[in-house]
Amino acid sequence: MPGDTRRVRGPEEGSQSPALYAVREEGKALRVGRAPAEQRGVYVRAGFLSQAVGSAYVEVAEGSKVVSGVWWGAGESKLNCDLRWARFSSPLAGPQRRGGGALFLQQSLEAAVRMERYPRAELMVSVLVLEERGAALPLAVTCAALALADAGIEMYDLVVGAAACRRDNGDILLDPTEGEEESAANMCLAIMPTLNQVSGLLCTGEWEGDSSVEAMKLCMEGCQRLYPVLQQSLLKSTKKKVPAPVPEAS
């Protein structure tokens, strides 16, 4: 019987595709040429998704990438947050990914969103970590808050997140990389910069009094530096949505 010429012939002998694993190169996951209190550069864009009511995309230079969208639901008045990692985001599971990350996101945003203004609406916030290369959880909080603001949701203030870690030698590092997150202790902090209030705090490992205060101070300073960048992104997104005024005929 003649073969089917429309099919692409495979190998005659059975074969199986090799398993592929993403392996982090040693020495590449630690900071190079960056001070302990120095953050990486950030790219921020509000209004990233056309299908969502509000959306945002945040990317750290040589770091994590996060996208977030906001939709209205038909349920009761509440804020629902969904935090997920893409399968290809990282071969390793960071300390925030193993547990507590979704709850940290929920609590950080609940403190800022004025849900009493929406008594008959369910607000759904979806966050997807596209690439995890350190400090992905606070970046997810920042991205979600920016998406809420882009959707026009009433908030007391924007929520900005930052992370710090304590190395085995006692050094406190702001904005840790993926390799640095394997340190003795990690901290994620979310604040409302204008109100100067903490909306979320997640710690793993052992923290002593002085080191925890120093880490919180570094995180708060990092959030304050990022705040104007988010404001500029919202301003650009709003200008695109609002039509230009038409001059009156004389």
Output the pLDDT for position 19.
45
The residue that leads in pLDDT, 74 or 133, is 133
In a domain, 30, yes or no: no
Q: What is the average pLDDT across 149-164? A: 96
Residue 5 lies in a domain: no
The single residue listed with the structure tokens 């300073």 is 221
Sign (positive/negative) of CA torsion 221, 206, 135, 32? Answer: positive
pLDDT of residue 249: 66
For residue 18, pLDDT beyond 70: no
Domain-embedded: residue 21: no
Inside any domain, residue 28: no
> What's the whole-model pTM score?
0.83
- Residue 192 in any domain: the answer is yes
> Tokens 């609590």 sit at which residue?
107
Decide if pLDDT at 8 tops 90.
no
Query: Which residues span the domain enclosing 69?
Result: 38-239
Task: Give the chain's mean pLDDT.
Answer: 85
Q: Does residue 9 lie within any of the structural domains?
A: no
Greater model confidence, 149 or 13: 149
Looking at residue 155, which CATH number applies to its domain? Answer: 3.30.230.70
Q: What's the rounded mean pLDDT across residues 202-221? A: 91
Tally of domains within the chain: 1
Residues in Cβ contact with 55 at an 8 Å cutoff, skipping those fewer than 6 apart: 46, 47, 48, 49, 67, 68, 69, 70, 147, 150, 151
- What pLDDT, on the 0 to 100 scale, is given for residue 5? 52
Residue 13, domain member (yes or no): no
Tokens 């609406």, located at residue: 121
Question: Binning pLDDT at 50, 70 and 90, where does residue 29 land?
Answer: low
Q: What does the pLDDT read at residue 179?
A: 86
Q: Residue 229 domain-assigned?
A: yes
